[in-house]
A and B are shown apart, each in its own frame.
Chain A
Amino acid sequence: MSNLAASDFTPLSVTDEKHGISRPSMSYWQDAWIRLKANKRALASLYIIISLLFFAIAGPWIWRVDPAVQDLDQISQAPGMDRRAIVVEDYQPWDGVSLLSDVTGLHLAQPATSQAVRLGWDVLPGATGHRVYRNLFPVGPELAFGVPLAEFYDNQTLNFEDRLDLRPGRYYYTVVALDSRGQLLESFETLEVRVRRVTTLDEALATGLIDEGSGLQVGDQVLLNLHPLGTDSLGRDMLARLMAGARVSLFIGIGAPFLFVLLGMAYGSVAGFLGGRVDSVMMRFADFVVALPFLLFMILFKIAFGIGPGESGVFPMLVALVILMWPATARLVRGQILQIREQGYIAASRLLGAKTNYLVLRHMIPNTMGVVLVTLTFAIPSAIFTEAFLSFIGMGVAPPTPSWGSMSNEGIKTMLTYPHELIFPALFISVTVLAFNLLGDGLRDALDARMRNQE
């Protein structure tokens, strides 16, 4: 203590150097955005969602095909780019004369086309009659012949013309011998037939594939309308329908959550801010809405609104969703507001003379935004599911308006024969729901400080 000099007590020279802030100041949202960007899954989901929105909004401008137009040449067409068809003459009734008469056994009398398949055969051993079957699959050991097409109770008629709903592709025709009482005998013959797609000049003209003066001859090739993702059971273009369906599904799936989160936010913040009796009355009403059986009321609302002919039913579904789903958000926001209300900065702001409006709009609501955004992201998949679910049981969007749910409903009926009609809409629903779920996870991790060190 003794070796202090007088110089130790002179003031230090004053410098202009201020306290440097070592890192740039960052707002809550900038911080969250950086954390979200680091989450690869969430970022990928964000890109998927953006491209889905692009698909829905800009898609119909690029792929200009009317989703309601039926292409009867290409019903239930599988996805693919092959759209060649041979021009043939108009349909002529067949007299049963076999053009390839030197062939024995079950044979094609003429090349098989989607216009007609003409079969001829010889009398099977022991037969007093024949029955003709058609199958999409090989007959196999279990003798699955398929659809019975015709029966003949004598051995005179040994030819058959099939015009029933023929599509390009492979068919298995079987002729089975019948005894005199019409019972099946053991002998049968099977023929694999590849049906080629054909069209007539008149049809091609009528559907606008060729012009009047194109000079197309019978036997030439024409290109039918392109359906990259195939067509549905009514010959409507799948890609166009998926785009139109995306508009409906995403409109309900994003619009409804957006609205009910907004409603819930307003309701919850009022209840939380006012507190006391008003709060408990408002929250009891919210509890009442929660206690309503959700799907039953969705259906009831749909009926109560009533959908006239020609209406799509999108709007009633939107309203029903909003009416039934707001309480969850309201509860959450109320809880947040109750917490925030007691914070020091609110008291400070009040002390500085802030009005109620300012407090709520400037301090309280912005501070609940993180939670609200996460709720919104998780509400979207459930709204999309609800729409799909209702459309699936036929209570949703009215046909012909396509939605992914109603398309799945139609596709599920022909799941085995035309799987693309189910796979595409189901895939779109799944990918959308998945993307929103993963984005929600990412947002929650990025925005919620408590979750930060966990997964």
Chain B
Amino acid sequence: MDERATTESIRSNLEAKYGLDQPLMTQYVIYLRNIIRGDFGISFTQENREVNDIIRQHFPVSAVLGILAVVFAAVGGVLWGALTALYRNRLPDYIIMFLVILGISVPSFVVAALSQLLLVNINNIFDSTVLPVAGWGTISHMLVPALVLGLGTMAYLTRLMRSSMLEVIGSDYVRTAKAKGLPPTRIFTRHQLRNAILPVITVLGPAIAAITTGGFVVELVFAIPGLGRFFVEAVQQLDYTVIMGTTVFYGAFLVFMVIVVDVLYGFIDPRVRLE
């Protein structure tokens, strides 16, 4: 008998505690009933901790980080994309597209590690903590991780925005607007940007999902107590209730975000509004 083996009575007690002595179907029905009541059960490895508590404490961290990253990605992507289209084949276009290609092809963990190194050096130069290198708590903790997390999406959105902006710039209504003598800023904000942004909104839903669930690496490198880290730990320790809970929760969150984006789409483009 090795030291981790349990006696028969301990085993049956444990099984009874977690309801594992029931037939599989019954377990499943119980689990589903609990989920409907919003109860994901108790963690297998941290025995006094409910999965709900873990989600409640750590999901906001991931969500704030994810939302900030999405905002960075969307604003940056739209701005850079519009800029490259307006300055097509000129210096700003080349510079930004070069950065975009870097952003697409360098893995996020390398970017995360390098940005940490950069932060250390900046803090050294100013001899004070300009931006913290790791950890969580204040706005200044969030900025760099969010930027790193959103970088890949930003690069992708920039490319998308650029091509759709190029299409819009060559369209008839823009020419008409110019012919009417509208000021360029008004053409840009009212005609070009508003039409070119639609494809970006479409991919924003999946992008939000990818960012919020893809934060593991950034959370790991920057020591952020987000849900992603708990998930990875739970998988490594076979903590089934936590795995199931976070997965179901993330799935629901993802569907919710896609619906939100769909509704948002209706506001921005009246043509697709549902009857």
Beta-carbon contact of B167 and A389 below 8 Å:
no
Which residue among A296, A388, A431, A454 has the maximum number of chain B CB atoms within 10 Å of its CB? A296
- How distant is the Cα of A303 from the Cα of B247 in the complex, in angstroms? 14
Beta-carbon contact of B163 and A426 below 8 Å:
no
Stretch of B3-11, B41-49, B67-75, B103-111 at the chain-chain interface = B103-111
Report the minimum CB–CB distance from A319 to chain B (whole Å).
17
Residues of chain B at the chain A interface (Cβ within 8 Å): 88, 101, 104-110, 113, 117, 163, 166-167, 209-210, 213-214, 216-217, 220, 231-232, 235-236, 238, 243, 246-247, 250-251, 254-255, 258
Contact of B217 among A294, A393, A438 (CB under 8 A): A393
- How distant is the Cα of A455 from the Cα of B117 in the complex, in angstroms? 37
Beta-carbon contact of B109 and A430 below 8 Å:
no
Q: Answer yes or no: A392 CB below 8 A from chain B CBs.
A: yes
Beta-carbon contact of B117 and A415 below 8 Å:
yes
What are the 6 A-B residue pairs with the smallest beta carbon separation, nearest first? A434-B105, A433-B105, A293-B250, A293-B213, A426-B110, A430-B105
Residues of chain A at the chain B interface (Cβ within 8 Å): 291-297, 299-300, 303, 381, 385, 388-389, 392-395, 405, 408-409, 412, 415-416, 422, 426, 429-431, 433-434, 437-438, 454-455
Beta-carbon contact of B247 and A300 below 8 Å:
yes
Chain B's closest residue to A432 (CB) is: B105
Across the interface, which residues of A come within 8 angstroms of B213, CB to CB? 293-296
Report the minimum CB–CB distance from A416 to chain B (whole Å).
8
- How distant is the Cα of A135 from the Cα of B89 in the complex, in angstroms? 50
- How distant is the Cα of A454 from the Cα of B85 in the complex, in angstroms? 12
Could you list some 20 contacts between A and B, CB below 8 A? A291-B254, A292-B251, A293-B251, A294-B209, A294-B210, A295-B213, A303-B235, A381-B104, A392-B107, A392-B109, A393-B216, A395-B232, A408-B107, A430-B107, A433-B105, A433-B107, A434-B105, A437-B105, A454-B166, A455-B88
Across the interface, which residues of A come within 8 angstroms of B250, CB to CB? 293, 296
Given A291-B255, A295-B213, A455-B163, A434 and B104 touching (CB < 8 A)? yes
Beta-carbon contact of B110 and A389 below 8 Å:
no
Beta-carbon contact of A389 and B108 below 8 Å:
yes
Contact of B113 among A291, A394, A412 (CB under 8 A): A412
Across the interface, which residues of A come within 8 angstroms of B246, CB to CB? 296
- How distant is the Cα of A130 from the Cα of B235 in the complex, in angstroms? 49
Report the minimum CB–CB distance from A437 to chain B (whole Å).
6
- How distant is the Cα of A426 from the Cα of B216 in the complex, in angstroms? 18
Report the minimum CB–CB distance from B151 to chain A (whole Å).
13
Across the interface, which residues of B come within 8 angstroms of A385, CB to CB? 107
Report the minimum CB–CB distance from A452 to chain B (whole Å).
13
Supply 7 further A-B pairs (C-beta < 8 A) apart from A297-B247, A430-B107. Answer: A293-B254, A294-B209, A296-B250, A381-B104, A392-B109, A408-B110, A415-B117
Beta-carbon contact of B254 and A388 below 8 Å:
no
Given A381-B105, A415-B113, A454-B166, A300 and B243 touching (CB < 8 A)? yes
Across the interface, which residues of A come within 8 angstroms of B231, CB to CB? 296, 299
- How distant is the Cα of A133 from the Cα of B141 in the complex, in angstroms? 34
- How distant is the Cα of A389 from the Cα of B112 in the complex, in angstroms? 12
Report the minimum CB–CB distance from B51 to chain A (whole Å).
15
Beta-carbon contact of B209 and A293 below 8 Å:
yes
Across the interface, which residues of A come within 8 angstroms of B247, CB to CB? 293, 296-297, 300
Given A292-B251, A294-B213, A393-B220, A300 and B109 touching (CB < 8 A)? no
Report the minimum CB–CB distance from A407 to chain B (whole Å).
12
- How distant is the Cα of A433 from the Cα of B105 in the complex, in angstroms? 5
Across the interface, which residues of A come within 8 angstroms of B217, CB to CB? 389, 392-393
Across the interface, which residues of B come within 8 angstroms of A429, CB to CB? 105, 107, 110
Beta-carbon contact of A454 and B105 below 8 Å:
no
Beta-carbon contact of B101 and A300 below 8 Å:
no
Chain A's closest residue to B110 (CB) is: A426
Chain A's closest residue to B212 (CB) is: A293
Beta-carbon contact of B214 and A426 below 8 Å:
no
Across the interface, which residues of A come within 8 angstroms of B105, CB to CB? 381, 429-431, 433-434, 437
- How distant is the Cα of A293 from the Cα of B106 in the complex, in angstroms? 23
Beta-carbon contact of A389 and B109 below 8 Å:
yes
